[in-house]
Amino acid sequence: MTALEGVKVIDVGQFYFAPYCTMLMARLGAEVIKIESPDGDPYRRLPTVDEDGTPIQFRFLNSGKRTIRLDLKDAMGQDILRRLAANSDVVVQNLSPGAMDRFGLGYEALSALNPRLIMASGTGFGSFGPYAGEPAMDLTIQARTAVMSTTGFEDGPPIRTGPSFVDFIAATHLLAGVLAALYQRTHTGRGQHVEVALQDAVIPALTSNIAGLLASDYSAPERTGNRHGGLAVAPYNAYPTIDGWITVLCPTDSHWQRLCKLMDDPATDDDRFTAMAGRCTHIDEVDAIVGRWTRTRAKNDLTEDLKAAKIPCAPVVELPELLDDPHVRARGIVHKVTDAQGSFTTLGSPVLLSDSPMVEPRRAGRHGEHTAEVLRDELGLTNEEIEQLRLTNTI
């Protein structure tokens, strides 16, 4: 059986945050029903479309879910969600702050109907504190949470990270909270409210940067480029090669000693470089020595030599290289699926369990594709009742 077999999830999410959390739950075997407004998820309107016209971002985050069209601003739409929640295990939402409460669909209201219900709320800044209730997106959280000020080089402007890591790291925190609440429910019989704020989820990733700042009495640069965030490890950088770049780091003195043997450069005999503290103090000189060696070699050859010496390293790959990487293909995280309509690419699952198979994702549904099916199967509505809801534009 799958890990979450029999678990019913209502996804009242949009963009990346809640939808990635529920996508992971779907891959683990949960039955996920995605609620979309009459206008559809905003990511249905992005221009980066796949072969059948579906935006790739939407497909990646929503394949494997049943999709229904439902107007939560409408009283009948709100009643339908209440009825669905009454027979579900989890509701996951990241609507604008306070929206679910304004609709009469907050945790207190829904748990009164279903005490076993777990509601998971993804917010920008949480439900308390001076910024509570402020809207937030990945970029604005990166700005507010010092991610941008610590990304880039010391003499350059602040830069956002390439990947939208804020939404995804927060979504995995939200999943952890939901799974913990499901486990506790097996003992108590009661659900609870799980809350994850984007800002809270990101701050722990700044551990090295904060440590460097505190240890230097606030004198360390915030932006350290490709060097260690706290400037506490050297070498630790991206170095030029004949055909690109390679990352190399020596987290211990023994790693440095093995690297010195490989480089065979007399400059490494300097006593200033023997211990980590000295290498960090003279980080520019250390980087110059390593870069002088790497720039004469190809990145893949260097990678093999460094791996053989058990020195942490990796070639800097570009996106086309990543998608063609045999390891990425073998792991199935970028997943190609063939169905009756042809082939499509979506996400697999990074969460693998030895005794619980990953569910093969289905193609992301069209806007409202499963509305009638869900209302019949879950709520027992008749075709006539469903048609009436269509006429009132509730669904």
Residues forming the active site: 167
Q: Which residues pair with 353 in a beta bridge?
A: 356
**Contact by Cβ (8 Å): 246, 314:** yes
The whole-angstrom separation of Cα 66 and Cα 7 is 14
The whole-angstrom separation of Cα 246 and Cα 257 is 19
The whole-angstrom separation of Cα 185 and Cα 192 is 8
| Other beta carbons within 10 Å of 364 | 26
Using the Cα atoms of residue 125, residue 126, residue 129 and residue 134 in order, give the sign of their dihedral: positive
Q: Which residues pair with 347 in a beta bridge?
A: 334
Distances (CA, A) of 287 to 88, 226, 235: 56, 11, 6
Tokens of 176: 């952890």
Dihedral pair phi/psi, residue 177, rounded to 5°: -65, -40
**Contact by Cβ (8 Å): 29, 359:** yes
Tokens of 17: 């945050």
Q: How many CA atoms lie within 13 A of 376 on its CB side?
A: 9
CA 307 from chain center: how many Å? Answer: 29
